[in-house]
Homo-oligomer: A and B are copies of this chain.
């Protein structure tokens, strides 16, 4: 199908890269920032335009912009093709005036334009009618092996869950990496442990594989760790909070 991408950020960049490996044709990249639009468009053999000159002859319009920019763009756009936005926490109905067929193409992944190799990207699809759902699902299926239908409510729930398993986890990694640097120990020695923590979830419930001093109620080790963290007040606070939470969680599971 013929595709127009509106937006020039991380998601727009990743989807334009994905399109290159398919039979679809990227006609145009439209953006507020024309230089960024040109950069994306030229690498995909498409034309670049401002937000005021979006073509009207595409089969699918993908709006990949900041949530706050969505309302204005949705208001301006009036096309015959299917229109989809890529936002996890915004209703599909924000697009109700842009086309008779509209919906959502939400990538459930942490995407950075500058990452060299693309990770697998599950897509959550929604649409206001069968034609929209069919079209968006067909596109998603051509760029991803994992496509699921999820309405506004389910998508928002998974978007919230994603914050816990990616954003909060990555914050823990960031403070731990800083700690290792300051203390002169090698953070990369922890990579196999971190990879295993995630890998085994494909076969085990996380509630069944918890290890460490908190679940063992190993007060001596906990106090040794808190001594190690004596000069790291923010980490100490997290350590105490999580230790308490873990003890409460697995006590409850047993009871």
Whether the Cβ atoms of B159 and A196 lie closer than 8 Å is no
Of the listed stretches A33-41, A52-60, A95-103, A218-226, name the one at the interface; the rest are far from the partner chain.
Answer: A218-226
CA distance A148 to B119 in the complex (A): 30
Residue in B89, B111, B116 whose beta carbon sits within 8 Å of that of A225 in the complex:
B89
Taking CB atoms and an 8 Å cut-off, the chain A residues in 99-122 that contact chain B are 108-112, 115-116, 119-122
A197 → chain B, closest Cβ, in Å?
Answer: 5
Instruction: Tell me if A72 is interfacial: C-beta within 8 Å of chain B.
Output: no
Whether the Cβ atoms of B241 and A167 lie closer than 8 Å is no
Whether the Cβ atoms of B165 and A119 lie closer than 8 Å is no
Of the listed stretches A43-51, A74-82, A128-136, A170-178, name the one at the interface; the rest are far from the partner chain.
Answer: A170-178
The listed residue with most B CB atoms (<10 A of its CB), out of A108, A171, A176, A183, is A171
Whether the Cβ atoms of B206 and A170 lie closer than 8 Å is yes
Instruction: Tell me if A156 is interfacial: C-beta within 8 Å of chain B.
Output: yes
Taking CB atoms and an 8 Å cut-off, the chain A residues in 133-151 that contact chain B are 146, 148, 150
User: Can you give 21 A-B contacts (C-beta < 8 A)?
Assistant: A66-B216, A67-B221, A68-B218, A68-B220, A112-B209, A112-B211, A115-B204, A119-B200, A120-B195, A120-B196, A146-B192, A150-B185, A156-B224, A157-B179, A164-B172, A167-B246, A171-B245, A173-B197, A194-B198, A194-B201, A198-B198
Q: A120-B196, A177-B206 are in contact. List 10 more A-B contacts (CB 8 A).
A: A10-B211, A110-B211, A120-B192, A158-B186, A158-B189, A165-B172, A168-B246, A169-B194, A191-B198, A197-B198
